[in-house]
C-alpha cells in the first residue's frame, strides 16, 4: 500500500457536551477509494469534515502530503478546498439560479479561470459523466440522478487530489445510485484522485477498495498504511 496522501490521527471533536469523535483515525492513498461506514450518529460525517478541513478537530492531527491542515488558517484551508479537494454531498447542492454547465464551471471561475475556458472544461466533464445534454438546463429541470452526476462533474472539474463524498447516493433510487457510484469511482481512479466516501449502504461501499468502520466516534481499528 502506498503512503497515505491524507491521514487523520487521534481525532477528537465535541459539539457542546456531545462527543462526535473520540480518537478516530484513518488514511487514504492517492488513487484509493475508502468507504467510511457506520450507523447514523456514529461520527462518520464529522470525520469527513475534519479530514477535509471544514471543521477543525479539538484534538489530533490531519496531514495532507507534508502539510498539517490543523495548523493552517481558515483562509489557507479554504484555498485548499477550492483547488485540491472536491466535494459531493447527498443532495448535490447545485446553485439553482445557474445552468448545469455554469454550476460545473463555478469552481474554476472562483479560481480565476476565464468563462470560456471554464465552460469548455465543464462541458468535457459533463460529457464524461454522461449528462452533457443537460448543459443549458437548470438544476430544477433535471432528475435527481442527473443532478447528482452534474454535482460529481463539478467536484472533479478542478482535477482534485482528494474527493470527499458524503452519502452521495442517499437521495437516489438504487439504479441511479449505482450509475453515480460507477461514474464517480471510475473517473476518480482514472485521474488518480483519492476518495473518502461516507455511506451506511453496503452496496455503495462495495465500490471502494476498503472500508473503515466508525462507531461511537471511534474507528473500529485505526488504519495503519
Q: How confident is the model at residue 225 (pLDDT cuts 50, 70, 90)?
A: very low
- According to the model, what pLDDT value does residue 111 have? 87
Q: Is residue 92 part of a domain?
A: no
Mean pLDDT of 203-210: 92
Per residue, what are the HEC states of the chain?
CCCCCEEEEEEEEEECCEEEEEEEEEEECCCCEEEEECCCCCCHHHHHHHHCCCCCCCEEEEEECCEEHHHCCHHHHHHHHHHCEEEECCCCCCCCCCCHHHHHHHHHHHCCCCHHHHHHHHHHHHHHCCCHHHCCCCHHHCCHHHHHHHHHHHHHCCCCCEEEEECCCCCCCHHHHHHHHHHHHHHHHHHCCEEEEEECCHHHHCCCCEEEEEECCEECCCCCC
pLDDT value at 128 more than 70: yes
Q: Is position 59 within any domain?
A: yes
Q: How far apart are CA 37 and CA 187, in angstroms?
A: 22
First and final CA of the chain: distance in angstroms?
A: 6
Range of the domain at 75: 1-84+161-168+192-225
Task: Report pLDDT for 205.
Answer: 92
pLDDT in tens, 30-62: 999 999 998 888 899 999 999 999 999 999 999
Tell me the CATH number at 213: 3.40.50.300
Give the residue, 67 or 3, on which the prediction is more confident.
67
In the predicted model, what is the mean pLDDT of residues 118-143?
A: 94
User: What pLDDT score does 1 carry?
Assistant: 53
Structure confidence by residue, pLDDT tens digits, 70-123 = 999 999 999 899 889 999 987 668 999 999 999 999 999 988 999 999 999 999
What does pTM read for this prediction? 0.90
- CA–CA separation, 43 vs 202, rounded Å? 18
Structural domain contains residue 203: yes
Could you give the number of structural domains in the chain? 1
Q: What is the CA radius of gyration of the chain?
A: 17
- The per-residue pLDDT of the chain, averaged, comes to 90
What is the share, in percent, of the chain residues with pLDDT greater than 90? 68
Task: Report if residue 66 sits inside a domain.
Answer: yes
Q: Is residue 221 part of a domain?
A: yes
Please report whether residue 214 resides in a domain: yes
Quick one: pLDDT at residue 171? 81
Say if 12 falls within a structural domain: yes
In this predicted model, what pLDDT tens digit does every residue of 175-200 receive, in sequence order?
888 888 888 888 888 888 999 999 98
- Is residue 50 in some structural domain? yes
Amino acid at each position: 500500500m502506498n503512503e497515505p496522501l491524507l491521514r487523520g490521527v487521534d481525532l477528537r471533536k465535541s459539539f457542546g457536551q456531545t462527543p462526535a469523535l473520540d480518537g478516530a483515525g484513518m488514511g487514504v492513498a492517492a488513487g484509493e477509494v475508502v468507504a467510511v461506514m457506520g450507523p447514523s450518529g456514529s461520527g462518520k460525517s464529522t470525520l469527513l469534515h475534519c479530514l477535509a478541513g471544514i471543521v477543525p478537530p479539538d484534538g489530533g492531527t490531519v496531514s495532507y502530503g507534508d502539510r498539517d491542515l490543523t495548523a493552517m488558517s481558515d483562509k489557507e484551508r479554504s484555498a485548499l478546498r477550492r483547488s485540491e479537494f472536491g466535494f459531493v454531498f447527498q443532495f448535490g447542492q447545485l446553485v439553482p439560479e445557474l445552468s448545469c454547465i455554469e454550476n460545473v464551471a463555478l469552481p474554476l471561475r472562483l479560481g480565476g479561470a476565464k468563462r470560456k475556458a471554464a465552460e469548455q472544461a465543464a462541458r468535457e466533464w459533463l460529457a464524461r459523466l454522461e449528462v452533457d445534454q443537460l448543459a443549458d438546463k437548470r438544476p430544477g429541470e433535471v432528475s435527481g440522478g442527473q443532478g447528482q452526476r452534474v454535482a460529481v462533474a463539478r467536484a472533479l472539474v478542478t482535477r482534485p487530489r482528494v474527493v470527499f463524498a458524503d452519502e452521495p447516493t442517499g437521495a437516489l433510487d438504487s439504479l441511479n445510485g449505482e450509475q453515480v457510484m460507477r461514474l464517480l469511482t471510475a473517473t476518480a481512479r482514472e485521474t488518480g484522485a483519492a476518495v473518502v466516501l461516507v455511506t451506511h449502504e453496503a452496496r455503495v461501499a462495495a465500490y471502494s477498495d476498503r472500508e473503515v468502520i466508525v462507531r461511537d466516534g471511534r474507528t473500529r481499528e485505526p488504519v495503519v498504511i
